[in-house]
């Protein structure tokens, strides 16, 4: 909980510097930060290409490369040492400048790290090689120096581009917004207005093929909307009166009139961009581990280099040049540029994959902790269930009346009612008969003349009062599930029963089963009655449930589970579950939509799919595994390489050359980069 709290505080502090204006544009602080990163990317790119071009003559003029290519006799001339010195000097001072600035900054803060080691390695290589060249004794390690700086610049360029890629992709979503909106006045007049002029509660007309200008609710019309760029849902989503709609999505074939609910900073699109930016900038515990490893590696490298030099110079018969060569080889091979990429590349790739699949990571520490979850706690309504009061069962008592016929009669009877039962029945069918002589029976049902017959929709209790005969066993079984049941009566005869309730989501069961396979305990918290909670729990195979829990008391139930030693993830709608989301080790808001709970949840799952909870836990495990693998590749080879570079097996004829050392170092970097890119859910 401490790490989560500290990370949260970091977000709060960051958000204070990154406010947006009324219509969701970045403040100067956020914009300047993005501009600074882009300028640095541009700078590293320029330095890399200039250095790479200058490296070509350095390679061609190097004795070792000439010998390997068999062109020694062709390119050899008197001034080659001075020429290679000149090219290498430009590379060192121009290409190596960011690292020379970096060592100054790190030492000023008394926090030596990767930049310190890089700067020391390239400086030792340059100084020694310059001495050799000016003394007309060869060209030293100039080619290793040049390629080392090239790789460093390339690594930092790739790293920064990768880190920004997810944020840039999401910022492009803002361009999906249209330039104007069709505002509908009270008298029905339509006026084209700028997006900045749209206000909450305005009515906006969206024509076929147009983009949605703001978050809202459909008040008129039917259509399908493409939300794939926002939610990852590939199929167009049907929209009708009462449905929520997201800014940036694209209307399809029908016209829609919406009532604006959120504008500017409050829109889903703006929140998504902020969430990803915060995820990129939030501290990773594994990154902190990498930073510590870089510090340790720096100390080891410097210490090993000094010891290597003194041993070969003062305790053996080898000359000064040999001692320096061993020292430089140690410094070069220990250079931790792969370590610098190990975690940031995985962070960038994982954040990009997550955003593309509808997982928005707000708190990276909590995301990393998700791999250790031992209990997932679900809210019921809207999470495990659909959160809508709808028809769950239609059972006929008469062969002449099937499900569709019963619903047609029931929908006709309920056509003039606004009761939730009536709405649920009407939503269950697109067809119904006409009704005449409608009459409401207060608290008991409705009646009327349908299809030329006297018909009623009544409660079982009223049927009992009427001494009406019906199958009480079937009705009783439905009521045990916590469902509301009504009877269709035609010509004084019970024709069938319709049960209504909050239906369990189709993928809830598979999500629970997969979590159990991962040895994760599944618990449900709900404010609903015990009968309904017990039914849902049995249907899904939950390990435990808490029923009739008020929203403010849910956090205490999470605390109770934590006191048992369980590492908890709370999955809720992110609004009334806020206290529980905050209390849990990992808070996950599911089905965020335009009501995304950015203030409490650590991870936002855009779609209403419990299955995505399994995906996010699996992804957390995979991400951490990739981080550990990269840290190993970035540092593990040093266990063997450093002693070989120092020359411990010299007496056996085994000596690691600077060229091979640089090759191993480069190979480590390539493996780290490829391994990060192989991350997938």
Q: Would you name the residues annotated as active-site residues?
A: 379
Distance between CA atoms of residues 670 and 633, nearest Å: 10
Nearest to 296 by CA among 580, 665, 639: 639
Distance between CA atoms of residues 528 and 383, nearest Å: 13
Distance between CA atoms of residues 636 and 649, nearest Å: 19
> What value, to the nearest 5°, has the Cα angle with vertex 663 and ends 141 and 67?
55
59 Cβ contact list (under 8 Å, min separation 6): 65, 143, 146, 147
Distance between CA atoms of residues 147 and 129, nearest Å: 14
Burial status of residue 473 (CB atoms within 10 A of its CB: 0-12, 13-18, 19 or more): exposed
Q: Is the dihedral of CA 461, 462, 465, 467 positive or negative?
A: negative
Distance between CA atoms of residues 374 and 376, nearest Å: 7
CB-based burial, 23-34: b 16+ in 10 Å, e otherwise: bbebeeebeebb
Structural contact between residues 496 and 406, judged by C-beta atoms closer than 8 angstroms: yes
How far are the Cα atoms of 334, 392, 502, 545, 554 from residue 482, in angstroms, in the given order?
A: 66, 11, 9, 15, 21
Distance between CA atoms of residues 206 and 224, nearest Å: 12
User: Phi/psi of residue 211, each to 5°?
Assistant: -90, 150
Distance between CA atoms of residues 14 and 33, nearest Å: 12
**DSSP track, 333-386:** HH--HHHHHHHHHHHHHHHHHHHHTTEEES-HHHHHHGGG--EEEEEIIIIIEE
Nearest to 237 by CA among 607, 503, 575, 605: 607
487 Cβ contact list (under 8 Å, min separation 6): 456, 457, 458, 459, 460, 463, 468, 470, 475, 494, 496, 497, 498
Answer left, alpha or beta for residue 325, where phi above 0 means left and psi between -120 and 50 means alpha.
alpha
Distance between CA atoms of residues 482 and 462, nearest Å: 19
What are residue 180's DSSP bridge partners?
194
- End-to-end distance of the chain based on CA atoms, in angstroms? 26
Distance between CA atoms of residues 434 and 409, nearest Å: 9
Nearest to 57 by CA among 33, 29, 35, 80: 80
Pairing verdict, β 435-441 and 445-450:
antiparallel
Pairing verdict, β 453-458 and 445-450:
antiparallel
What are residue 206's DSSP bridge partners?
256
In this structure, how many other beta carbons lie within 10 angstroms of the beta carbon of residue 177?
18
Distance between CA atoms of residues 347 and 623, nearest Å: 8
């Amino acid at each position: 909980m401490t790490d989560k709290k500290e990370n949260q505080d970091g977000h709060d502090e960051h958000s204070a510097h990154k406010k947006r204006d009324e219509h969701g544009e970045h403040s100067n602080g956020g914009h300047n930060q993005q501009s600074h990163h882009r300028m640095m990317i541009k700078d590293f790119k320029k330095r890399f290409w200039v250095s790479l071009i200058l490296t070509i003559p350095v390679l061609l003029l190097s004795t070792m490369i000439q010998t390997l290519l068999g062109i020694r006799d062709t390119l050899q001339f008197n001034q080659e040492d001075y020429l290679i010195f000149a090219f290498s000097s430009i590379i060192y001072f121009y290409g190596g400048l960011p690292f020379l600035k970096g060592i100054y900054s790190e030492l000023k803060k008394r926090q030596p790290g990767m930049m310190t080691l890089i700067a020391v390695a390239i400086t030792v290589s340059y100084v020694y090689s310059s001495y050799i060249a000016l003394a007309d004794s060869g060209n030293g390690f100039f080619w290793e120096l040049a390629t080392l700086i090239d790789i460093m610049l390339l690594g930092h360029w790739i790293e920064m581009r990768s880190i920004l890629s997810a944020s840039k992709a999401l910022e492009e979503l803002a361009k999906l917004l249209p330039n104007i909106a069709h505002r509908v006045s009270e008298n029905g007049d339509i006026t084209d207005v700028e997006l900045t002029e749209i206000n909450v509660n305005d009515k906006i007309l969206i024509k076929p093929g147009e983009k949605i200008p703001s978050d809202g609710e459909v008040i008129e019309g039917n259509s399908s909307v493409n939300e794939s760029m926002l939610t990852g849902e590939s199929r167009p989503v049907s929209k009708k009166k009462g449905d929520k709609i997201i800014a940036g999505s694209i209307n399809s074939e029908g016209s829609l009139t919406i009532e604006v609910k959120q504008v500017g900073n409050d829109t889903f699109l703006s929140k998504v961009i902020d969430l990803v930016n915060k995820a990129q900038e939030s501290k990773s515990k594994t990154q902190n581990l990498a930073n510590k490893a870089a510090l340790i590696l720096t100390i080891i490298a410097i210490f090993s280099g000094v010891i290597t030099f003194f041993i070969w110079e003062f305790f053996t018969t080898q000359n000064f040049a040999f001692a320096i060569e061993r020292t430089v080889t140690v410094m070069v091979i220990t250079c931790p540029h792969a370590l610098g990429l190990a975690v940031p590349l995985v962070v960038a790739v994982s954040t990009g994959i997550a955003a593309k699949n509808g997982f928005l990571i707000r708190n990276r520490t909590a995301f990393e902790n998700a791999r250790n979850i031992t209990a997932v706690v679900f809210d019921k309504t809207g999470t495990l269930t659909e959160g809508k009061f709808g028809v769950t069962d239609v059972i006929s008592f008469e062969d002449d009346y099937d499900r569709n016929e019963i619903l047609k009669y029931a929908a006709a009877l309920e056509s003039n009612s606004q009761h939730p039962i009536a709405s649920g029945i009407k939503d269950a069918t697109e067809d119904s008969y006409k009704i005449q002589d409608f009459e409401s029976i207060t608290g008991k049902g409705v009646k009327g003349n349908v299809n030329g017959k006297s018909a009623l929709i009544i409660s079982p209790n009223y049927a009992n009062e009427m001494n009406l005969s019906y199958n009480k066993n079937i009705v009783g079984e439905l009521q045990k599930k916590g469902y509301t049941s009504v009877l269709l009566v035609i010509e004084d005869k019970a024709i069938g029963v319709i049960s209504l309730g909050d239906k369990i989501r189709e993928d809830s069961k598979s999500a629970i089963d997969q979590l159990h396979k991962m040895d994760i305990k599944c618990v449900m918290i709900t404010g609903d009655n015990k009968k309904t909670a017990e039914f849902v729990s049995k249907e899904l195979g939950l390990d435990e449930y808490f029923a009739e829990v008020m929203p403010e008391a849910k956090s205490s139930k999470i605390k109770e589970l934590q006191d048992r030693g369980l590492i908890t993830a709370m999955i809720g709608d992110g609004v009334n579950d806020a206290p529980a989301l905050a209390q849990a080790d990992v808070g996950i808001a599911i089905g965020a939509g335009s009501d995304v709970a950015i203030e409490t949840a650590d991870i936002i799952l855009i779609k209403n799919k419990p299955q995505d909870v399994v995906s996010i836990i699996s992804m957390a495990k995979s991400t951490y595994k990739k981080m550990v693998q990269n840290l190993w590749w970035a540092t593990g080879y040093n266990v063997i390489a450093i002693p070989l570079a120092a020359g411990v097996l010299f007496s056996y004829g085994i000596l690691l050359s600077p060229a091979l050392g640089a090759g191993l170092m480069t190979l480590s970097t390539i493996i780290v980069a490829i391994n990060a890119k192989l991350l997938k859910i």
